[in-house]
Amino acid sequence: MARAGRKRKAGARNKTGRLIAIGGPRLDRGTAELRLHRALRAGPLDPAAQRLWQRGKAEEAAASIGMGDHRQAVDAVGRAWLADLLAHPVRDGAAMRDAGRVLFKLYWAHYAALAPSGGLYRDLAGRGVVRVGATGDIERAAQLEAALNRRLAVLDDCGRDVRRAVESLCVDHHFEFGPGWLDRLIAARREGRAAGEEDRRRIEAAVLGLAALA
C-alpha cells in the first residue's frame, strides 16, 4: 500500500503553482539596541525612552519610538529627514533626501580615487552603485560627470551658500554624526529650544538647494 504524500498547503497560488505570500516580505529593522542608536542620531528619543533604555529595557524603549525607518540615519541627509528638518512647502522631504543621495553617488563615482572610507560609501560600492573603476569606461565616466555637473550648476544658480550647505549635508562624509551644525539643530529640536541663527541659515540653504535638485 502506497504511503500518502505530503499534504498540499492551502492558500492562493500564482500561475506557476507557487503560494502567494500574504503581506509581502517582512522588513528587518534590526535589534532594539540598533534601532535606538539610529534613532538617537536623528534626535527623536524622549526622556521616557531614554530611561527605559538606561534600565535595560531596550525592547520597551524601541517600541516607544514607533516603527519609523531609522535605517535612514545612515547619513547626514537621512538624519535631517528623520528629524523633520527638510520641510518644504512644495517639495516632498523624502524626494529631497533622495536627491541629496543621488548627488553623493554621482560625486563619489566621479571622484572615486578620493572616496571616503565610510560605512555608506562601502555599502554603495558593495552594491555596485558607486563604481570605483568608472575611469575605465570613458563613455560611462563622461555620463557621470555630465550628470554631476548639471546638478552642481543648479546649486551654483542658487548661490554659493546654498551649494556649500548642500555639499556639507550630502557630499561630505558625515556617516555616523555631523556635520556639527546639523547635530546642533537636532539637539535643539530634541531639547525643545531655539536653534542658533547660523545653523538655521545652513539648513534653510540646504533645503533650498535640495528642493531645486528634487
Say if residue 58 is in the same domain as residue 103.
no
pLDDT in tens, 106-146: 998 887 655 555 555 556 555 554 555 444 577 888 888 89
Say if residue 79 is in the same domain as residue 130.
yes
What is the pTM assigned to this prediction?
A: 0.65
Residues forming a β-bridge with 163:
none
Say if residue 151 is in the same domain as residue 64.
no
Beta-carbon contacts of 145 under 8 Å, excluding residues fewer than 6 positions away, are 110
Which residue carries 565616466 as its cell? 141
Look up residue 156 and give its three cell numbers: 551654483
CA distance 103 to 16: 41
The 8 Å CB, 24+ separation contacts for 188-191 are: 189/43, 189/83, 189/84, 189/85, 190/43, 190/44, 190/45
CA distance 196 to 185: 8
Say if residue 102 is in the same domain as residue 177.
yes
Work out the burial of residue 123: count CB atoms within 10 Å of its CB; fewer than 13 is exposed, 13-18 middle, 19 or more buried. Answer: middle
Q: Which pLDDT does position 163 carry in this prediction?
A: 97
Which residue carries 548661490 as its cell? 159
Q: Which pLDDT does position 170 carry in this prediction?
A: 95
Say if residue 129 is in the same domain as residue 175.
yes
Q: Which pLDDT does position 48 carry in this prediction?
A: 73
Instruction: Give the total number of structural domains in the chain.
Output: 2
Q: Which pLDDT does position 175 carry in this prediction?
A: 79
Say if residue 46 is in the same domain as residue 84.
no
Q: Which pLDDT does position 119 carry in this prediction?
A: 54
Q: What is the mean pLDDT, run by run of 10 residues, along the chain of 214 residues?
A: 55 53 50 68 66 75 64 86 92 95 91 57 55 62 90 97 96 86 90 92 97 96
**Of 71, 102, 133, which residue sits at a domain end?**
71
SS3 content of the chain, % helix, strand, coil (to 5): 60, 0, 35
CB 113 within 8 A of CB 120: no
Residue 14 lies in a domain: no
